[in-house]
Amino acid sequence: MWDKDRFIRQVLYCAMYTSLALMLSFVEAILPLTAAIPLPGFKLGLANLAIMDSAFRMGMPAAIAVSLGRIILMGILFGNITSFLFSLCGGITVLLLLAVCRRFSGAFSFVGISVLCAMGHSAGQLFCAVCIMGNGAALVTTYAPFLAAASLIFGAVNGFLLLGIAPRLPKI
Amino acid sequence: MLPAKRITIGDMFVLIFSLLLFVFLAIRPLAAADGNYCILTVGDTKQVCSLTENRTIPVENGGYSLRVEICDGTAAIIASDCPDQVCVHTGRISKTGQAAACVPAGVILHITGDTGDEEDFRVG
């Protein structure tokens, strides 16, 4: 049955999660990470915290809204068409993996899910690079090891962060 | 519906799988042999260059200017006016399968053992 109050609450939480994801993406964008680690697409993945939490608290439709909202707003505010396509490919892969993880939610904690999503995000971005530039073997050979290492490390760090934060957040 | 509150066997499986994937991807280029040619892809055009002949190649594409240097059996993008300088930071490459890419300019430099059949024209 249609519950207007519940719907409004869900929309409000979606907006809050999108704002949080956008803010975390902005923090990542202004950090001079590329100077320290010169890899295209290299990010801490902090926005994934908001997307993962929204997926498990509010369901996949909310996570899709939050993720796409963040990607579109980041593209309009701070990016260009290339960065938008890279984000979109990574974001879609993460959403697919989150949908699978939700079906087996007891089998993984946020640590495993976060590492899996980080790996998926990197794979999605590599796929996008291969589609845009061609020469897939050369790109994969060059960047995949670095992206895999970054995904493993920062995915695990983000996972442990969310593992600590999630139980303290109020129930939606 | 939150996931498990503690580390699970599934998590360990994901972590070990990711670690093995990284080790595999990292070791593979190290085991490769020294290459004989580098293939410079600029947009849709491929140019094959011998690694035995030292030279500097200026490249213009996508509004960016790059300089590719071939020296002592290695190749590198030594200068670029792209914003992130990832291609320049990649450094010198010499083993088969290694590559340096400038995504904004649409330029890829990669090393091969032979010229293959994909060249548009050959230099050197």
One-letter amino acid identity for A162?
Answer: L
- Nearest by CB to A133, from B29, B100, B108: name it: B108
DSSP symbols for B44-67 = TEEEEEETTS-EEEEEEETTEEEE
- Answer whether A115 sits within 8 Å of B18, measured CB to CB: yes
The more confident residue out of B34 and B123 is B34
User: Does B73 contact chain A (CB < 8 Å)?
Assistant: no
For the ranges A14-18, B82-86, B113-117, the one whose mean pLDDT is highest: A14-18
pLDDT in tens, B85-114: 778 888 888 888 788 888 778 888 888 877
Considering only the C-alpha atoms of chain A, give the largest distance between any 2 of them, rounded to a whole number of Å.
54
- Nearest by CB to A149, from B22, B85, B108: name it: B22
Number of other CB atoms surrounding residue B78 within 10 Å: 15
- Answer whether A138 sits within 8 Å of B108, measured CB to CB: yes
Does domain B37-123 fall under CATH 3.30.450.20? My reply is no
Q: Pick the residue of A121, A141, A146, A151 with the most B CBs within 10 A to test the interface with B by mutation.
A: A141
User: Which positions in chain B touch A149 (Cβ < 8 Å)?
Assistant: 22, 26
User: Does B30 contact chain A (CB < 8 Å)?
Assistant: no
User: Which positions in chain A touch B103 (Cβ < 8 Å)?
Assistant: 40, 82, 129, 132-133
Give chain A's domains with CATH numbers.
4-168 (1.10.1760.20)
The interface predicted TM-score of the complex, written ipTM, equals: 0.81
Task: Read off φ and ψ for residue A171, nearest 5 degrees.
Answer: -70, 140
pLDDT at residue A68 is higher than 90: yes
